Amino acid sequence: MAVLRSLPRHGHAAIFDRTWYGRVLVERVEKLIPPTRWRQAYDEINSFESQMVANGTVVIKFWLAVSKAEQLRRFQEREDSPFKQYKITEDDWRNRSKWLAYHTATEEMLAHTNTLLAPWYVIPANDKRYARVEVLKNIVLTLEGLDKQKVLYSEPPVPQQSSEIL
């Protein structure tokens, strides 16, 4: 599995972009797998992340919530800019037409994979600079809290619903 080869060594960091969430997002919405398979993936994801934490990995998960209107603005900007056209494809437009299905899948993913060991941080991301600062702040706060966090929380934090942000 490519993900396992990419896991960081002790003392190192790695950034993954939805790597093991494809089954509960893209594969679900595009109907590439049956519902039983993507539902099963929630437990597999939680188990995998739990194993990573048990082996000393700090898992920090972010969902950058962009509104439908902001996504459209960014898509149009990419199409209009010769320097950004490579960032937009027909698949992007096709997937945009499935906004509601992706939104529903995202809400369920956040609810089913938010755990004590690997909580989600939902970041409003219409403003890119704000989103970047919030991500960095949460990384720093999490890493600073590692020495203080000798006992696990009794309940996972409840992720803010992305629909509340949009």
Instruction: Write out pLDDT tens, residues 12-64.
Output: 777 777 778 889 999 999 999 999 999 999 999 999 999 888 888 889 999 99
Report CA 9 to chain centroid distance, whole Å.
22
* pLDDT tens string 106-134: 999 999 999 998 999 999 999 999 999 99
Q: Each residue of 145-161: pLDDT tens digit?
A: 876 654 444 455 566 66
Structure tokens at 150: 């000798």
Residue 72 pLDDT: 96
Question: Buried b vs exposed e over 17-48: b needs ≥16 C-beta within 10 Å?
Answer: eeeebebbbbbbbeeebeeeebeebbeebbeb
Q: For 54-98, write each residue's pLDDT tens digit.
A: 888 889 999 999 999 999 999 999 999 999 999 999 999 999 999
Q: If DSSP codes are grouped into helix, strand and coil, which group holds residue 61?
A: strand
